[in-house]
Structure 1
Amino acid sequence: MKTFLKIIGIILLLLIVYAVIAVLAFSKDYHYEKSVVINAPKEKVWTYVGSLKGYNMWDPFSKEVRDISITYSGDGDKVGDSYHWKGDESEGEQSITAIVPNEKMMTKLHFIQPFDGSAKATFIITPEGTGTKVTWSIDNELSPMMKIMKPMMDNNMGKMFNQGLADLKKLSEK
């Protein structure tokens, strides 16, 4: 029994040490990005990247929200246009902050539930050989608790971005 308690104590001590190191060493600035090359002209890809309605056709995050309802403000393709989502244990809004047709769209995310927060997303499309490269990134500021969870966030973001970009590729290459 003493050996078991020692093992539990060591594990707890390692977790505490990791948490202290994470809070002190990890940057509060969080950036994550992924890219994919799509075998389609940029004008076709832009229909899914350059508007909020197009984005919601492949957005992996909204697919995770049960009983989601989305309400748009504007057509979803101009600066100031936005949408609000609400579902089981998730609510927020995303609005366009900058747009360069067929090249770039930047948005601001405001998370309301399950936690209050904000982030910025950027979608950039560029020619790549005979196709189109899409780079999707997200930036936000991490609280001390979120710094501790950064490795799990990176893992989750990787899965979600890969799924979303794969769905975007399928839609665009149809």
Structure 2
Amino acid sequence: MLEIIGVGVALIIAVFLVLAARQPDVCHIARSIFVAAPPERVFPLVDDLRAMNEWNPFAKQPSVRNVYSGPERGVGAADDFSGDAGSGSGRIEIVESIEPAKVALALRMDRPMKCSNRVEFTIAPQNGGSLVTWDMKGRQPFIGKLFSLVMKPEKMVGGAFERGLADLKTLVETAREEAAQ
């Protein structure tokens, strides 16, 4: 009887490992939102990490501590962050800044799982406003593939991107309304 249970458990583990191995080698998550303001109004809130952390849901967690370095904005601006297991720790640094259309960042996570990703914000003029896209890509090691079977990063991280973009939209549009008054 114990042999049958052992074979069953081994079979379940084997199926789980095969499913993990079949996951994509690259993790890619992207979300977009329309903001009723020109790219020039959105760009400063993405090109400045302190301003970004006002709407970035990953930075808004109470346990997160930020240490900024480099220039205030643009290429070389960096944020070494640390927090609890939910927020993790690592470094994000602006590696490309094309005003008012694009900001690219290198994201290195040290905890809860080591990984490196490229994060890009594109801000494209659209219908009198801007289409803002938050995009993240990175290699997915085997441990990440195992994790993705259980935690569904597309849903978890994608949901955070949606909340952050909604907060960015509110921040930009509220500032626009206040300026018009």
Normalised by the length of structure 1, the TM-score is 0.85
* Residue 48 of structure 2 corresponds to residue 51 of structure 1: yes
The one-letter code sitting in structure 1 at the alignment partner of 2:65 is S
The 2-side partners of 1:124 and 1:81 are apart by 18
> CA separation of 1:171/1:21 partners in 2, compared to 1, >3 Å: closer, same or farther?
same
* Residue 155 of structure 2 corresponds to residue 159 of structure 1: no
Q: Aligned to 2:110, what secondary structure does the other structure show?
A: strand
> CA separation of 1:15/1:61 partners in 2, compared to 1, >3 Å: closer, same or farther?
farther
Q: How many residues align?
A: 167
The 2-side partners of 1:122 and 1:37 are apart by 16
Q: What is the root-mean-square deviation of aligned Cα atoms in Å?
A: 2.2
CA contact (8 A) 1:76 1:83 kept: no
CA contact (8 A) 1:122 1:138 kept: yes
In the alignment, which residue of structure 2 is the partner of 1:41?
Answer: 38
Q: Aligned to 2:76, what secondary structure does the other structure show?
A: coil
In the alignment, which residue of structure 1 is the partner of 2:121?
Answer: 123
Post-superposition Cα deviations, 1:61-109, rounded to whole Å, max 9, x if no partner, equal 1223x42221111333221121111223422111011110111010001
Measure how far apart 1:14 and its partner are: 5.2
Q: Mean Cα displacement is larger for which, 44-53 or 11-20?
A: 11-20
In the alignment, which residue of structure 1 is the partner of 2:96?
Answer: 98
The one-letter code sitting in structure 1 at the alignment partner of 2:47 is G
* Residue 94 of structure 2 corresponds to residue 88 of structure 1: no
In the alignment, which residue of structure 1 is the partner of 2:179?
Answer: none
CA contact (8 A) 2:54 2:60 kept: no
CA contact (8 A) 2:25 2:140 kept: yes
> CA separation of 1:114/1:18 partners in 2, compared to 1, >3 Å: closer, same or farther?
closer
* Residue 150 of structure 2 corresponds to residue 171 of structure 1: no
Q: Aligned to 1:118, what secondary structure does the other structure show?
A: strand
Measure how far apart 1:53 and its partner are: 1.6
The 2-side partners of 1:13 and 1:36 are apart by 44
* Residue 64 of structure 2 corresponds to residue 68 of structure 1: yes
The one-letter code sitting in structure 2 at the alignment partner of 1:163 is R
> CA separation of 1:41/1:12 partners in 2, compared to 1, >3 Å: closer, same or farther?
farther
CA contact (8 A) 1:41 1:131 kept: yes
> CA separation of 1:61/1:22 partners in 2, compared to 1, >3 Å: closer, same or farther?
same
Q: Mean Cα displacement is larger for which, 78-87 or 122-131?
A: 78-87
The one-letter code sitting in structure 2 at the alignment partner of 1:68 is V
Gaps of 5+ in 2: 175-181
CA contact (8 A) 2:47 2:74 kept: no
Post-superposition Cα deviations, 1:1-45, rounded to whole Å, max 9, x if no partner, equal x9xx99xx979855642431331x222111111110001121111
